[in-house]
Every structure is written in C-alpha cells, then in structure tokens.
Chains A and B, each alone.
Chain A
Amino acid sequence: GQNIDQPTEMTATEGAIVQINCTYQTSGFNGLFWYQQHAGEAPTFLSYNVLDGLEEKGRFSSFLSRSKGYSYLLLKELQMKDSASYLCAVRPRGGSSASKIIFGSGTRLSIRP
C-alpha cells in the first residue's frame, strides 16, 4: 500500500522560517514532489527530489532521505502570500505506474503578521 503523512496544520510568523515534514511508505519510489495549493485554486509545482539531499530554489528548499522515507519543505522569509496548503506527493516506481503520483492530505500553513 501507499501512505504519505504530513501535519494537518501549521502556523508561522511573517519573515520567519518554517519546515514542513513528510514521511512516506510506498511500494516503490521514483521521485517526491511538493506542490502549493491556495484555497480554491489548482496545485502548483514547487519542487522535485529523486536523489538524497537538498534542492534549493529561491526562498523554498526541499530535502529528501530515501533510506528514511522522509522529506521536508523549508520556506524562508515567509510572506503572507505563502499561506496555503502544501502537498507532498510520491511517484511509485515501475511499469504503468511510472507516472502516477500519490498525494498526501496536505499541510495547511497560516502566516500571521
């Protein structure tokens, strides 16, 4: 089976740093994605990790440890517009499942002034 766990809600302060954790247990692994979703809108791609380590992209960074089944998304210099849900998603490996991705339930992040 496939299981992706992330906190339901988090709150952080404008200008601060926040780390959103994700753990996964999947039958295979062929990459992990983070998406941002504002209320009532479609998810938008933030990052992709397939190898262990940290990928940095502006204010956002994503880390992966395949041996631990663990990832985190790090958001720096938080802005009010960062208030959104953050979705962790895993692509299982193999065959016709090569492109399917499995989403977690998302972490709703609220930024306070």
Chain B
Amino acid sequence: DTGVSQDPRHKITKRGQNVTFRCDPISEHNRLYWYRQTLGQGPEFLTYFQNEAQLEKSRLLSDRFSAERPKGSFSTLEIQRTEQGDSAMYLCASSFSGTQNEQFFGPGTRLTVL
C-alpha cells in the first residue's frame, strides 16, 4: 500500500450532471476525510468518517453533496446537479485515531463543471 489513492484524477462534466469520486485510504487507517480546495486557498473541510460512521459534516456542504463509507474502507463522494461553483480539487485524506492524528492526503480529483 503506497498511500491514499483517488479516482478519477480529473473529471469534466456539464452543469446539472451528477458525479461520483472514490477514495481508497491507507489500509490501516480508520479515519477518512474529504476536503475541497480552490486555487489560492487551503483545503476546506467537508466531512469525515471513523470506520463506517460519518461523524461530522460541514455546514458549507449543501444537500447536493453526499458521502459514504459503507464498509469502513473506501469512500465515495457524490455531487448531484453540479454547478459551476463546484469546480475545485477534491482531496481525500486518512489517518489513525490517536494523539497526533496526522492526515495523509491523496492526489485529489480535479473537477471542472462547464
């Protein structure tokens, strides 16, 4: 296991379409996080899971966004009825629960909504 992986790396879609992204965390990690990053900004927290439980969801996340982690391993992030403002890099990270709780990031999925 070489780290966190995300698929696809790039996605171009038309406004109004639905998109789904996948994240495979480091296998021993029980926590998984989704962030969104736009140019010139730091990552913005969206949601996180401990095992299969979704423990927190940002208020910035509209009802069009949903995330799952059904078996406590990989996770999916779905955006319904995409808007141009959804264009961003979507980053996934994973970590152990523990004192330091360093998060390891995947390469991201860059979404462009036309």
Contacts and interface: CB of A to CB of B under 8 A. Distances in A.
A45 B104 contact: yes
Contact of A99 (B91, B97, B107, B108): B97
A45 B107 contact: no
Interface size class of A (residues with CB under 8 A): 20 to 34
Contacts of B103: 33, 45, 101
B25 to A, nearest CB: 13
Interface stretch (A64-72, A73-81, A89-97): A89-97
A48 B43 contact: no
Interface of B: 4, 31, 33, 35, 40-45, 48, 50, 55-56, 91, 95, 97, 99-108
Nearest to A87: B42
A91 B91 CA distance: 18
23 contacts: A31-B100, A33-B102, A33-B103, A42-B4, A42-B91, A42-B107, A42-B108, A45-B104, A48-B100, A48-B102, A87-B43, A89-B42, A96-B55, A97-B56, A99-B31, A99-B33, A99-B97, A100-B33, A100-B56, A101-B45, A103-B35, A103-B42, A103-B44
